[in-house]
Amino acid sequence: MIQRRNLLIAGGLAPFLGACSRLPDTVKIGVAQPLSGPLAALGKDMLAGVQLAVKELNDAHFSVKNQNITLEVVARDDKSDAATGKKVAQELVDAGVVAVIGHLNSGVSIEAAPVYAAAGIPQLAISTNPKYGQLGLPTTLRLVANDDLQAKAMASYALANLKAERFALVDDGTPYGKSLIAGVQSLFKKKGKEAALMASLDAKTTTFDDLIAKMAAAKIDGVITTLADFQVEALIKGMAKAGLRDAVLLGGDTIKTNLLPKMDMPIRGVYSTSPVIEPYEFSAGRSFETRFAAATKQEVVYGAHYAYDAVHSITLAMIRAGSAAPAKVLAAMKELDLHGPVTASLRYDANGEQAFGTISVYAIEKGRWASVMRTRDWD
């Protein structure tokens, strides 16, 4: 009787155990980006890259272990706000996503990271603040180089190439901006250079009368800033009005959108450093831009190609792991060199940092951002 009872139990459990090990028919990929507010264009660009990758993979009948799987995008608006980011992170965890492509803002990524870590869900962020990779959480992955390298690029390029003597260093008050400008200031000092003016504002300011008055008084001819594109647009117009037309401005990656190249530029020059490399700089980039424009009726604004490749890194990890379980997908992502169809190799080190990250410097030329220098070996 005991033997028969055990057989019945085993027989009853067999279908359940088989169901547990079976791959799901649908796998959800989370996206958490600013889809409203001043940075919505960047967040929507990231989302569009994810959606294009998912559509193409579904159309190609994506499969793992010979089982067709439908990919589904679950998107949430983090509003560039840390508290909202933490809330939507929990919503995505509760939705049962395999991984999350989020967030854009460093402060939001850092706040949300423990939520994903508690659930063992990989978080693929395009945020650049080094603190994100220093949280000691196994689930934090970064798609691009961090701001330790970007600060070196900003300081090195500004001092060697901008032909400016008196610099203003202006941050936007965010963890991203304050950390990046602090890095530039530190590197300036190591090279024997002092900033003529330091200023910390906020991420929404568009009126710069007080700052511009101080810049004029200090005879500023070079500005290094982490203000966003719409803020820099207002700042540049104000600088020109105040007679600072011979000044040059170097911004961080959040100005490298399609906004500023459309301006009739009223100052000597505008440059950007960015770990988000333009699609055309990759051999497969032109093809991606064509497909993206056909699918979305718009150009790449920011990092759509990185979001697109992030989806492919997740799905390739699923294939290598033979599983859609977040823990197994994460392990595969951290152990393997993964192929990004546009940006090429993706490799996450032990801290989740991108091993192949580089920084490019761009100048506005003929209505677009043109690459003038690219390296990972900044002094």
List the domains of the chain with CATH numbers: 24-146+280-348 (3.40.50.2300), 147-274+360-375 (3.40.50.2300)
Selection from 129, 128, 226 nearest residue 168 by Cα: 226
List of E strands, 182-312: 197-200, 222-225, 248-251, 269-274
Helix (H, G, I), strand (E, B) or coil at 374: strand
Is residue 14 over pLDDT 80?
Answer: no
pLDDT at 286 over 50: yes
Q: What is the pLDDT of residues 297-345, one digit of tens each?
A: 999 999 999 999 999 999 999 999 999 999 999 999 988 787 789 998 7
pLDDT reading at 11 higher than 80:
no
In the predicted model, is pLDDT for residue 1 greater than 70? no
Tens digit of each residue's pLDDT (9 = 90 or more) over 213-264: 999 999 999 999 999 999 999 999 999 999 999 999 999 998 998 899 999 9
Residues in Cβ contact with 130 at an 8 Å cutoff, skipping those fewer than 6 apart = 146, 147, 148, 179
Which has the closest alpha carbon to 104: 57, 40, 182?
A: 40
Per-residue pLDDT tens for 62-107? 999 999 999 999 999 999 999 999 999 999 999 999 999 999 999 9
3-state secondary structure of 226: coil
Q: For the whole model, what pTM was predicted?
A: 0.86
Rounded CA-CA distance 12/320 in Å is 31
CA 370 to chain CA mean position, Å: 20
Average pLDDT over residues 160-187: 96
Distance CA 250, CA 88 (A): 33
Distance in angstroms (rounded) separating the CA atoms of residues 328 and 344: 23
Burial label for 328, CB within 10 Å (0-12, 13-18, 19+), is middle
**What length does the chain have?**
379
Look up residue 318 and give its amino acid. M
Asked if residue 103 has a cis previous peptide bond (ω within 30° of 0), the answer is: yes
For the record, the structure tokens of 166 come out as 């008196």
- Average pLDDT value over all residues in the chain: 92
Are 239 and 217 in contact, with CB atoms under 8 Å apart? no
329 within 8 A of 139, measured Cβ to Cβ: no
Q: What pLDDT does 379 receive?
A: 83
CB 354 within 8 A of CB 144: yes
Q: How far apart (Å, rounded) are the C-alpha atoms in residues 236 and 248?
A: 9
Return the SS3 of 290.
Answer: helix
- Burial (CB < 10 A; 0-12, 13-18, 19+), residue 6, is exposed
Over the stretch 15-48, which tens digit does the pLDDT of each residue have? 333 334 579 999 999 999 999 999 999 999 999 9
Tokens, residue 253: 């990656």
pLDDT at residue number 345: 79
